[in-house]
Amino acid sequence: MGRERRGATDDRTVYSYGKQLWPEGRFHTNRLSDTLLLLLLLPGHCRKFFGLGRAARLAFWRSPQLSRPVTVTSSVLRFSKVFDVVFKPTGIFYTSGGFLSSFDLSGSSQRGCGLEAIVNPLAATNRNFKRAAKLLALDSKLEKSLLIPFREIKVECTIPKDDGSLAYVGFRVQHDNARVSMKGGIRYHPEVDPDEVNALAQLMTWKIAAANIPYGGAKGGIGCDPGELSSSELERLTRVFTQKIHDLIGVHTDVPVPDMGTNPQTMAWILDEYSKFHGYSPAIVTGKPVDLEGSLGRDAATGRGVLFATEALLAEHGKSISGQRFIIQGFGNVGAWAAQLIHEAGGKVTAVSDITGAIKNSKGLDVPRLLKHVAANRGVKGFDDADGLDPKSLLTKDCDVLILAALGGVINRENANEIKAKFIIEAANHPTDPEADENIQGFMWDDEKVNSELKTYITRGFKDLKKMCKTHNCDLRMGAFTLAVNRVARATLLRGWEA
């Protein structure tokens, strides 16, 4: 790597949110949203490191393999601990203490230590919350109380696989119960970790409150790749996870819902396993099969919510779905239904992507044919009425509306200025909550009733959001956060919270 160039920006300075914070590779903050003070003293090839929580990421690489001690100090959590760190060319970051997990080395170069700090989901969520709390002038003690999860659960799930046995780690974070019981998704994905689950549980609290649905937020998951497990292995894993948490969830406590990597069948297994301990309880989960008292219209509900939210936003600008050009990142349940409903409403879907690749057609994709192709080929790749496209360039293609229906964190400071869409709709991580259509009494609504109630909630929620934007002179994101945080704070105070 050559001699150390004292004072050189690329290997002597730490950046956060695009601002220089501290020279000589040291970072310090007292903000709860950042959560950690990290001091890294690495001589030789890898000189400086900056990160936020477990999902610390950096574009900073040189040595084929290097092991050094790292001192991690948290001014918020009030601890200091030394970890043995091993950097490997695969981009995996290991620690002896298990506190930090993998990070992305994309963007690194062989010329030196170009340093890039990418905020993890928990830090980003906390940052938005704190901005909203400041606008609302919340009491500092109440602010801290609203950030702390009601309960965090971590369990080992050991299952006999078809070719042996394997242990997985499952998580459930119950964030807030001020607005009665909690609810939120269970996802199966290799990158599930405590920080991600914490962030998503908190986001569920704010999203549910913004829609004025009487629940608090929760989230859970298992760090696994469902594509590598057989159906019987997935069932065993789901049942073991349910056995470990059954006494901490419940109809009036915490209701799981489907999320990434899970589906109605997963919910059916949870329902059945939970019922072994507590008697038949169909309301313990939402998103279950209709034959097990699930809700009609649930499969399309989140995609339909995306349609209604888009209609409300466009109406504010004197526009409608018809004639607008749409790009959709993510073509799973949400993205596919959004594409179908937008197509039916006269919108033109010009490009989509999923895990298999990306495709485009400037004249508009034939969505009904594309849906059949995806069902037969398990992905959009190879669709004959479209041209292939580099998935990394999808977000920056010209369009009227960009719908994000894949993983979070896809728009960052590196590509934000390149995005040409006039409107961005965030449909990742279940931004709407149609599962509330299912209720404890077990009443069954027809499709028309479900869709009508969903549109009422989405439209009313958007109007409430716009009022907050006007009151606090803020953008839509802060309007949503202030609306949600204010509702949860009021409920917390009314229930007798004391500093």
Band (341; pLDDT cuts 50, 70, 90): very high
Give the list of residues 6+ apart from residue 337 with CB closer than 8 angstroms, or none: 299, 300, 302, 303, 304, 306
> What does the pLDDT average to over 137-161?
91
Residue 219 is among the residues annotated as catalytic for this protein: yes
pLDDT at 5: 29
Q: What is the pLDDT of residue 429?
A: 60
Residue 468 has a pLDDT of 92
Is the separation of the CB atoms in 438 and 298 below 8 Å?
yes
Rounded-to-integer distance, Cα 44 and Cα 40, Å: 12
Q: Could you identify the residue written with the tokens 């996802």? A: 187
How far is the CA of 382 from the CAs of 232, 360, 374, in angstroms? 31, 11, 9
466, 315 contact by CB (below 8 A)? no
CA angle 310, 341, 394 (to 5 degrees): 70
Instruction: Using the predicted structure, report yes or no on whether residue 270 has a pLDDT greater than 50.
Output: yes
Over range 434-448, report the average pLDDT. 48
- Whether 266 and 238 have beta carbons less than 8 Å apart is answered as yes
Task: Provide the pLDDT for residue 201.
Answer: 94
DSSP notation for 280-319: --GGG-SS--GGGTPPTTHHHHHHHHHHHHHHHHHHHTT-
Q: Tell me which of 5-14, 115-124, 125-134 is least confident.
A: 5-14
What does the pLDDT look like over 58-96, one tens digit per residue? 323 233 333 444 343 443 334 444 444 333 333 333 333
Q: Determine the angle formed by the axes of helices 231-245 and 264-278, rounding to 10 degrees.
A: 40
User: What fold characterizes domain 300-426?
Assistant: Rossmann fold (3.40.50)
Higher-pLDDT residue of 70 and 344 is 344
Residue 128 to residue 184: CA distance in whole angstroms: 20
| Distance from C-alpha of 296 to C-alpha of 317, rounded to nearest angstrom | 33
Answer whether residue 19 shows pLDDT above 70. Answer: no
pLDDT over threshold 60, residue 35:
no
Q: What is the mean pLDDT of the chain?
A: 75
Helices (H), 366-475: 367-377, 447-472
Query: How many C-beta atoms surround the C-beta of residue 232 within 10 A?
Result: 12
243 Cβ contact partners less than 8 Å away, ≥ 6 residues apart: 273
CA–CA separation, 493 vs 486, rounded Å?
Answer: 11
Cα distance between residue 183 and residue 198, in whole Å: 13
Higher pLDDT, 137 or 452: 137
- What is the rounded average pLDDT of the residues 349-373? 94
Could you give the percent of the chain with pLDDT greater than 70? 71
Say what angle helices 194-210 and 476-494 make with each other, to 10 degrees.
90
Whole-number pLDDT of residue 392: 85
| The two structure tokens encoding residue 421 | 């869409």
Neighbours of 109 (CB within 10 A): 12
> Is the CATH code 3.40.50.10860 the one for domain 149-296?
yes
Residue 459 has pLDDT above 50, yes or no: yes
What per-residue confidence (pLDDT) applies to 444?
57
Which pLDDT value is given to residue 177? 93
Q: Does residue 171 surpass a pLDDT of 80?
A: yes
| Partners of 171 in beta bridges | 154, 221
Question: Of 224, 231, 233, 292, which is closest to residue 261 (Cα–Cα)?
Answer: 224
From the candidates 48, 130, 183, 219, which is the catalytic residue? 219
pLDDT of residue 120: 61
216-252 tens-digit pLDDT: 999 999 999 998 899 999 999 999 999 999 999 999 9
Q: What confidence tier does 271 reach under pLDDT thresholds 50, 70, 90?
A: very high
- Give CA–CA dist 379/225, Å, rounded: 17
> What is the pLDDT averaged over residues 184-204?
90
Q: Among 35-39, 262-266, 283-287, 481-485, which is the least confidently predicted range?
A: 35-39
pLDDT in tens, 386-396: 999 998 899 89
pLDDT of residue 227: 85
| Predicted confidence (pLDDT) per residue in 303-332, tens digit | 898 999 999 999 989 999 999 999 999 998
∠ at Cα 429 (423, 432), nearest 5°? 70
Maximum pairwise Cα distance, the chain: 72
At 498 the pLDDT is: 64
For 358, the 3-state DSSP assignment is strand
The residue-averaged pLDDT of 348-354 equals 95
What's the pLDDT at 450? 74
CA distance 52 to 36: 6
> What are the domain boundaries of the chain?
1-119, 149-296, 300-426
Q: What is the DSSP string of 48-84?
A: -----STT--------SSEEEEEEEEETTTTEEEEEE
DSSP conformational letter for 229: S
Q: CB of 304 within 8 A of CB of 341?
A: yes
Q: Which residue has the higher pLDDT, 406 or 87?
A: 406
Give yes or no for residue 432 having a pLDDT over 80.
Answer: no
